[in-house]
Structure 1
Amino acid sequence: MPEPRTPLAFNSPHYQSALHMHAAQGVHDAASLRRSLQDEREVWYDGQRVDVLRHPAFAGVLDTLCELYELQAHGPDSAQMCWTSPESGQRLSLSYLAPSTPQQLSAKIANSHLWMRHSHGQLPRIPDFMANVVVGLYDYRQELAAVQPQFGANAERYYRYCREHDIVLTHAIGDPQIDRSASLAEHPDYALRVVERRSDGVVVRGAKQLATLAPYCHEVLVYLSPAFFMRESPQYVIWFALPVATPGLRLMCREAQSPNATGFRHDLSARYDEQDAMLFFDDVFVPNERIFLLDDSATAARGFPRLSAWALMAGQVRYYHRLRTFLGVASLAAQSIGVDQFREVADMLGELTSYVELMRLALQGLEQGARRTSSGLLAPGVTLAMDAFAAQTTTRVAHMLRVICGSGLVMQPSEADLRNPVLRPLLERYMCGKDVSVAFKSRLFRLAAELVSERFGMRQELYEMWNRGDVVRNRMALYASYPERAEIEAQVRALLQRGTDALEGANP
């Protein structure tokens, strides 16, 4: 066992630079993850600055993350979640593997399945996701170096730093929803920008939104949303990474989705409400070695899909496991009230099963359709069709579960009701299910309610609709870039030409 990690002071070189590799100890476990979060991060919740390690609003997800990292470090699947560093000899997370062979890509995808299965597909920004974005940044290093050699070198060093220290990241790519019809020339603070250029770095000012998982992360990676590539000025084009505990960086978290009311189980929101945050950059200094791109919007536009290549695959793996969770809950709920053989209900269960199976087959296709990148890595196939599919089906899936469960989503006894000796006999008689106890049925329907009718489920559904980008833009991009389109059109043209030739031959 390695020696325990020492808490990183704010002025530690680990926080001040991405260049230092000394004291790297590989994968985190539960204890080292908690210790690594003992820093001077400025996190605000409900108007108060809080300690993420001690505030009850953050306890559930922190415990869940610790469980996942414990599984990675010491669990029964640890050998399938780790690999050995070629530089330090430490055990590293497979989330950070940059695959160059089909075997490595398969191992990497299998690792994503383990992360997502253990969290039931309920953590959209699970650490495996952003680790894969850093792999994408590393893959794009040559194009960054073409803009400025230091940018490419920074990307490579940062990748090695993150993988050797098992860094947990969030990303911030969205601009605040202020007035998106306004001109940045008239309102320069509507997007994050460089306000000072120095010999040792730059100073940035502005805000970024929906930095999911941010309170629990070591670092934030900032780059441009695809909707805002073409900036009006180079000062708005910058890619960089910073420690969450950086002076001038403030995190304001939204209200927790887990209800404060007592007496009811909230198994999902209590464990998987991963938090979203607004990031305020109040004239924050970014050292040169942490800048990956500056001023060049064209390189940013080309680079966005490259950064996302492996992360989008991980996201689709997660959606597959989320659909499996929906199928399991819907199936058990239908059985518990004896409606699983009703034609309409069985049809919906079959439709939900078809979505699960389509996702399974599509994931296999992404792996089989792997492509070689310009840096020599092996990336999964393009996910645009699956991105659109997920955005289209998420509302339908939630609707079906609502229909199957009906009023059971509303009327269920609390834990205190179940323990009450006066009420329990009545509950067992009038609120039990088919071959299941009232305790099992009530908890099952509470789980369903969290998925589709409570705040946690509403946030998750909204996330599924938009996190992969605008579904219309994704469909347009799919059509425009579809490699088989030319061949398909040629086949149809040939068919039409036969008819045209026949018509012209009949009319000399």
Structure 2
Amino acid sequence: MTSSLTSAVEPLGVLDGARFRAGLDDGRSVWLDGEEIKNVAGHPAFAPPVAELSRLLDLQHDPAHRDLLTVEDPETGLRIGRGYHPPRTAEELRAARDSAEVWMRESWGQHGRSPAFMSSIAVGLLDFRHRLETNRPGFGANAQAYHRFAASRDLLLTHALGDPQIDRSASPVDHPDHALRVLREDSAGIVVRGAKQLTTLAPFAHEVLVYLSASFARRGAEEFVLWFALPLNAPGLRILCREPFGTEPHGHAHPFARRYDEQDAMLFFDDVTVPWDRVFLLGDGALAREGLGRINAWSQYIGQVRYRERLRTLLGVGSLLAESIGVDGFRNIQEDLGELAGYAQVLDHFLDAGEATAYRTDSGLLAPGPTPAAAVWAAQVAGRAVGIVRGIGQSGILMQPTENDLRSAELRPLLDRYMRGRGIDAAHKSRLFRLAWDLTADSFGQRQDLYEYVHRGDLARNRINLYRNHDLSAVRERIAALIDAPL
């Protein structure tokens, strides 16, 4: 059988912006507001994020960043993205973090699906290959081949995890359209039908990984458990995008939204064939539950790097807001900013803890120690972190002049008189407050806030798992001994 992972085009190693843009013209079916978009890279809603991703990819070829962001693959001799490199030593694990810090700093912590994040999931898939082989012979080899395929081409990946919100009280066994499922197996592969949400980066990625389906096994629906990879131009696959951010008219600047709106999408699989060499797991809920933590061992670590940078950005903007309106000396404002600074420092400790408790996996890689409490903590404080910045800027975040207002000869004297700040003119103050609006209050800011709450999984389930997995035996025995006799 011919492998779908081979191509007449040889692997090219580290991606750059030009190759990335050209690769989007691959016949993918992208839909926005009822229209199929034929030129993704050139469409006004998508061009600014594509340009920003291109800039970031070009950094891999910049001598100042090349050795930090890329590494030579000993198997192929190609330079590959550092995120795709399987770490085997403490130095290599720390290098993955250092590389991710460049990606996250350059994108101000706004890119949840940065190349550094998704490539680490491909490493996790590679690491779990021996267990996947127990599902069906060849699935483990598929995982290894897929990692090599993606790494050697420096593919931008996304993942499709959620199921349609139709009626989650019903079993997909009784309502098959409620979940993605396998219609049939044949010599070419599996044929799948259904939908997945919420696929961040889908219009801009090369490939999608589908793998979060273990919960179906608990509902007697093992046949809906499936893991696979697919190019986003696969026949029968449609990508429905939500409303884009940062493209509003009337001159209101949205500096983060325009550049870092990764897009979120529904994927519709209309009898799509997934070749056998792209299938990794079928019908085994227990293995899928085991694998979910394993393949995300590195991504949770890289995700903490990203969220720390977002917190630093919020802290920086919040402190500048306070200074610009003369409240930085107020005790309550300093207390709030100190709380936000503490959040950023907590991420440092979680990252250090992951490195300090790193362990050797059964495939010989070095994985950061699990810190599941970090996911719960981050979801709990995300809204508060945004609220601190809103609380400092208050009504000023709502009302600021645009660049056209500032250029108006009639308005400018009024703006300079009534809309300046302490030691800051109207132009700089308005840009600072509009940045705060973009971070915390406009459609992009609200999306980012919701993303922080939902993307780590169900908060209640994560808390329950923390409780169930916490070893209470020693303290319970001590308490039992204490109350065994009259107090």
- Same fold, TM-score > 0.5, yes or no: yes
Instruction: Indicate the residue corresponding to 1:402 in structure 2.
Output: 390
| Alpha-carbon distance in 1 for matches of 2:483, 2:400 | 66
Instruction: Indicate the residue corresponding to 1:28 in structure 2.
Output: 15
Instruction: Indicate the residue corresponding to 1:4 in structure 2.
Output: none
Are the structure 2 counterparts of residues 500 and 93 from structure 1 closer, same or farther at C-alpha, using a change threshold of 3 Å? same
Conserved 8 A contact 1:265-1:414: yes
Instruction: Indicate the residue corresponding to 1:238 in structure 2.
Output: 226
CA drift of 1:231 comes to: 4.9
Conserved 8 A contact 2:216-2:222: no
CA drift of 1:147 comes to: 1.5
Of 84, 103, 107, 2:95 maps to 107
Q: Does residue 370 of structure 2 align to residue 382 of structure 1?
A: yes
Q: Deviations over 1:246-281 (max 9, x none)?
A: 100000100102242232211010111110010000
- Taking the TM superposition and a 5 Å limit, the aligned residue runs for 1:55-454 are 55-74=43-62, 76-225=64-213, 227-454=215-442
Conserved 8 A contact 2:246-2:253: no
Of 467, 481, 484, 1:497 maps to 481
Of 415, 429, 444, 1:456 maps to 444
Q: Which amino acid aligns with 1:39?
A: D
Are the structure 2 counterparts of residues 93 and 193 from structure 1 closer, same or farther at C-alpha, using a change threshold of 3 Å? same
Q: Which amino acid aligns with 1:122?
A: Q
Instruction: Indicate the residue corresponding to 2:32 in structure 1.
Output: 45
Q: Does residue 461 of structure 2 align to residue 477 of structure 1?
A: no
| Alpha-carbon distance in 1 for matches of 2:8, 2:421 | 58
| Alpha-carbon distance in 1 for matches of 2:156, 2:474 | 44
Q: Which amino acid aligns with 2:19?
A: S
Are the structure 2 counterparts of residues 168 and 68 from structure 1 closer, same or farther at C-alpha, using a change threshold of 3 Å? same
Q: Deviations over 1:414-438 (max 9, x none)?
A: 1111011121122112111111111
| Alpha-carbon distance in 2 for matches of 1:361, 1:451 | 25
Instruction: Indicate the residue corresponding to 1:9 in structure 2.
Output: none
CA drift of 1:234 comes to: 3.4
CA drift of 1:301 comes to: 1.2
Conserved 8 A contact 2:214-2:225: no
Q: Deviations over 1:63-117 (max 9, x none)?
A: 1100110112225222111100112211110010111111110101111111111
**Percent identity of paired positions between Structure 1 and Structure 2:** 48
Instruction: Indicate the residue corresponding to 1:6 in structure 2.
Output: none
CA drift of 1:386 comes to: 0.7
CA drift of 1:20 comes to: 5.1
| Alpha-carbon distance in 1 for matches of 2:177, 2:482 | 61
| Alpha-carbon distance in 2 for matches of 1:388, 1:465 | 9
Are the structure 2 counterparts of residues 118 and 417 from structure 1 closer, same or farther at C-alpha, using a change threshold of 3 Å? same
| Alpha-carbon distance in 1 for matches of 2:242, 2:194 | 18
Instruction: Indicate the residue corresponding to 1:10 in structure 2.
Output: none
Gaps of 5+ in 1: 1-12
| Alpha-carbon distance in 1 for matches of 2:96, 2:117 | 12
TM-score norm. by structure 1 comes to 0.92
Q: Which amino acid aligns with 1:497?
A: A
| Alpha-carbon distance in 1 for matches of 2:6, 2:70 | 23
| Alpha-carbon distance in 1 for matches of 2:140, 2:461 | 29
Local SS of the residue matching 2:298: helix
Conserved 8 A contact 2:210-2:227: yes
| Alpha-carbon distance in 1 for matches of 2:214, 2:427 | 47
Are the structure 2 counterparts of residues 33 and 232 from structure 1 closer, same or farther at C-alpha, using a change threshold of 3 Å? same
Local SS of the residue matching 2:409: coil
Conserved 8 A contact 2:216-2:224: no
Instruction: Indicate the residue corresponding to 1:5 in structure 2.
Output: none
| Alpha-carbon distance in 2 for matches of 1:433, 1:271 | 27
TM-score norm. by structure 2 comes to 0.96
Q: Which amino acid aligns with 1:287?
A: P
Q: Which amino acid aligns with 1:221?
A: L
CA drift of 1:439 comes to: 0.8
| Alpha-carbon distance in 1 for matches of 2:238, 2:250 | 31
CA drift of 1:230 comes to: 3.0
Are the structure 2 counterparts of residues 225 and 434 from structure 1 closer, same or farther at C-alpha, using a change threshold of 3 Å? farther
Q: Deviations over 1:188-221 (max 9, x none)?
A: 1110101111122111000001110000011111
| Alpha-carbon distance in 2 for matches of 1:299, 1:33 | 35
Question: After alignment, is 323-332 or 199-208 more displaced?
Answer: 199-208
| Alpha-carbon distance in 2 for matches of 1:232, 1:204 | 19
CA drift of 1:497 comes to: 3.0
CA drift of 1:358 comes to: 1.3
Conserved 8 A contact 1:239-1:291: yes
Q: Which amino acid aligns with 2:90?
A: P
CA drift of 1:233 comes to: 3.4
Q: Which amino acid aligns with 1:276?
A: D
CA drift of 1:40 comes to: 0.8
Conserved 8 A contact 2:124-2:296: yes
Are the structure 2 counterparts of residues 22 and 47 from structure 1 closer, same or farther at C-alpha, using a change threshold of 3 Å? closer
Are the structure 2 counterparts of residues 139 and 367 from structure 1 closer, same or farther at C-alpha, using a change threshold of 3 Å? same
| Alpha-carbon distance in 2 for matches of 1:200, 1:43 | 25
Local SS of the residue matching 2:30: strand
Q: Which amino acid aligns with 2:27?
A: E
What is the Cα-based RMSD across aligned positions, in Å?
1.7
| Alpha-carbon distance in 2 for matches of 1:229, 1:344 | 50
Instruction: Indicate the residue corresponding to 1:465 in structure 2.
Output: 453
